[in-house]
Amino acid sequence: MTSKPNAGYQVTDRNLALELVRVTEAAAMAASHWTGRGRKNEADGAAVEAMRQAFDTVAIDGTVVIGEGEMDEAPMLFIGEKVGAGGPAMDIAVDPLEGTNLCAKNMPNALTVVALAEAGNFLHAPDIYMEKIVVGPDLPAGVVDLDAAIGINLRELARAKRKDISELTLCALERERHEELIAKTREAGARVMLLSDGDVAAAIAACLPDSRVDIYAGSGGAPEGVLAAAAVRCVHGQMQGRLLFENDEQIRRAREMDPGQDPSRKLGLYDMARGDVLFSATGVTSGPLLRGIRRDGKRAVSHSIVMRSKSGTIRFVEGHHDFTTKTWSAN
């Protein structure tokens, strides 16, 4: 059930969308200094620091619910940290640098990502794995199901899209744990696109008409799953997920973060991201979704996507930046 937005949020959400772009731009600019240098920790640290500083100017009373880890694991943007300059109470989900290895190796699809919703509307997920399946908009509700065999999902998706299965492309992370998924997909006759990292970008790609991705499936990080759910909400796609536990401590932590719920339940899209949602991402390295930061001395050009679930509007924003007036990106 969709929550009713508060009056302050209704008035300011359009401005907040642009403010979120500034936040992801700041992180991307800082991380871009380390692109191709083989130092992923430095790139991530620069993105985190720049994103945290940029949040100080955003007119919200924000709480990080998906962040860099627990309070004792991260110096900033940790779960529970308060950010913002004051305003409506909001949940914040961040990945200051999705694809740290991609940035370090100058490979495609490194992004900086932020999502925002009213307080209490994002799933509070521990840093564990989540099984996921994503398809795009304008399809029958429930056309795919997390518990169905991939061959059945591909058959139903092909029928809904009026395509042959051989025309479908499934995107997944290239991991040993996905070998059966990949084999069954090819056995069914569909193509497979494999990514080394970056499942938020992959989930978005499954929802965009020009991406050549029809379905995203497999397991990846649960925090990234919540960010992906925010993006999928904005483009009116479909997504299901389920937390994957390795031990009792992870189950205990999940119950603590989402009290009164079965932690192993199948999660619908609105279980992960409810109410009105804003999403922004900026490219660090170029990929199918976004162009990376182009630096030229004291200037740079950024490319971002910003989306609102209320309107379903998708905007691509090109920013031209002067480092002499932006201290957070001068390194």
Q: Is the pLDDT of residue 12 over 70?
A: no
Averaged over 249-277, what is the pLDDT?
94
All CATH 3.40.190.90 domain ranges in the chain, comma separated: 129-272
Measured between alpha carbons, how far is 30 from 282 in angstroms, rounded to an integer? Answer: 12
Q: Is the pLDDT of residue 316 over 50?
A: yes
**Mean per-residue pLDDT over the chain, rounded:** 92
Question: What pLDDT is recorded for position 14?
Answer: 65
Averaged over 301-310, what is the pLDDT?
95
Q: Is the pLDDT of residue 73 over 90?
A: no
Q: pTM to 2 decimals? A: 0.91
Over residues 102-130, the pLDDT tens digits come to: 999 999 999 999 999 999 999 998 889 99
Question: What pLDDT is recorded for position 8?
Answer: 46
Over residues 208-253, the pLDDT tens digits come to: 888 889 999 999 999 999 999 999 999 999 999 999 999 999 999 9
Question: What pLDDT is recorded for position 211?
Answer: 85
Question: What pLDDT is recorded for position 140?
Answer: 97
CA distances from 169 to 69, 85, 185, 287 (A): 33, 44, 9, 17
Q: Is the pLDDT of residue 7 over 50?
A: no
Measured between alpha carbons, how far is 181 from 26 in angstroms, rounded to an integer? Answer: 37
Residue 95, amino acid:
D
Averaged over 72-88, what is the pLDDT?
88
pLDDT confidence bin for 185, thresholds 50/70/90: very high
Q: Is the pLDDT of residue 10 over 60?
A: no
Task: Give 319: exposed, middle or buried? Use CB within 10 Å, 0-12, 13-18, 19+.
Answer: middle
User: Shortest CA distance to 15 belongs to which of 325, 306, 326, 321?
Assistant: 306
All CATH 3.30.540.10 domain ranges in the chain, comma separated: 11-121+277-325
User: Shortest CA distance to 96 belongs to which of 241, 228, 284, 277?
Assistant: 284
Averaged over 16-27, what is the pLDDT?
94
Instruction: Give the helix ranges, DSSP H, for the chain.
Output: 7-32, 40-55, 100-105, 150-161, 179-188, 199-205, 222-234, 248-257, 269-272
Query: 11-121+277-325: what CATH class?
Result: alpha beta
pLDDT confidence bin for 72, thresholds 50/70/90: low
Question: What pLDDT is recorded for position 32?
Answer: 96
pLDDT confidence bin for 327, thresholds 50/70/90: low
Measured between alpha carbons, how far is 106 from 6 in angstroms, rounded to an integer? Answer: 42
- Was domain 129-272 assigned CATH 3.30.200.20? no
3-state class of 311 per DSSP? coil
